[in-house]
Chains A and B, each alone.
Chain A
Amino acid sequence: MLKAVTFISDMMIPLVFVYIIFYGYSKRIDIYDSFTKGAKDGFFVVLNILPTMIGLMVAVGVLNASGFTELVTGLLKPIAQRIGYPAEAIPLTFMRLISSSASTGILLDIFKSCGPDSFTGRFVSVMMSCTETVFYTMSVYFMAAGITKTRYTLWGALAANLAGILASLWICSVIWG
């Protein structure tokens, strides 16, 4: 199974690209024209999130330079070690459920201090890809529909995210541990 997982990592992007190009040809569309149009959309997506990125990375930068991050990680270390969880990833895990951009700021900070190829760097990468900003999404979607009683949705979402986090820890320690 491990081989299959590594294989998917290597093959996913090339396969998607080749598949999409052949699919486009088979439908006889001008694929290069479509690509450039789509790439332009990506441009605006990045431009739109740039202000939040700057704001939150500055906030994370301030927390770091002040020594606060060190302090919190130091306090969390004993607990983290007992459950085998990377201490640096604990604040990120909580922030991940609340805000996508704030968690991105913390994630980039972990990449900077530990490196993306360290165990912690790999773990947070996998963990970020299987979790979601639960609290933010819930408030936006339920507000749009005028729902105040959300029943078991919060517990369901938290259970799913917890399962993802534990699965990330497991698979990372199997592959890179």
Chain B
Amino acid sequence: MLNYIWGGMIIIGMVTAAFTGRLPEVTNGAIESAKEAVTVSVTMLGVLSMWTGMMRIGEDAGLMKLLTKKLMPLLKWLFPRIPEGHEAMRHIAANFIANFLGLGWAATPPGLKAMEALKRLSRDGETASREMCMFMVINMSSLQLVSVNLLAYRVQYGSHNPSEIIGPGIFTTLISTAVSVIFVKLAEGREKKKC
């Protein structure tokens, strides 16, 4: 998808610039932005590495196992049809926890494994099973409690209080996730009635 978005953005920009007579500014803008991407990345390199370092301490100390255990009752309520001890549950837990902690890139591998495991459990063929729908909708509702990247960007652009958005961010994340769970539970209920 980015294949077209990216090219489209540049072409639209160039065409607009030709009409507004701003072609020299466009050249400048492109070069400045490329430079800026690196400056931002340097800030991000520091902040993100600090965060992944901290999270690694938690991981090495067994915090992920503890969180998985704490999460299980909730997962059983969300996915009542997954058999006890099935690997799908483990992958779902790993995906959710990585998302909570703001380690989005670490969430994708267990997330894909969870989908494959759910596929093996499902008898619906190419149609998404009820568990897949629940997993996907929650996953896409945004789970992360603290977005370290955002903090880094805010620092980079001179915010006086970069962390002031954490509280509101957690509040709105809770709302979006609650809506996703309610939506899927209602959709499941409606389907049951049909059968």
Which A residues form the contact surface with B (CB < 8 A)? Answer: 4-10, 12-13, 16-17, 20-21, 23-24, 26-27, 29, 31, 34-43, 45-46, 48-50, 52-68, 71, 98-99, 101-102, 104, 107-108, 111-112, 115-117, 121-122, 125-132, 134-142, 144-153, 155-157, 159-161, 163-164, 167-168, 171-172, 175
Contacts and interface: CB of A to CB of B under 8 A. Distances in A.
Contact of A38 (B55, B105, B163, B168): B55
A17 B144 contact: no
Chain A interface main SS type: helix
Contacts of A141: 111-112, 115, 136, 139
Contact of A152 (B13, B119, B133, B171): B133
A54 B116 contact: no
A160 B20 contact: no
Given A9-B168, A156-B187, A20 B17 contact: no
A111 B165 contact: no
Interface residues on B, range: 35 or more
Contacts of A7: 167
Contacts of A171: 168, 171-172
A60 B9 contact: yes
A83 B179 CA distance: 22
Interface of B is mostly: helix
A35 B134 CA distance: 35
B61 A58 contact: no
B165 to A, nearest CB: 4
List the 10 closest pairs (A to B, CB-CB), nearest first: A38-B56, A61-B33, A65-B29, A164-B176, A42-B49, A62-B13, A42-B52, A129-B169, A39-B53, A66-B17
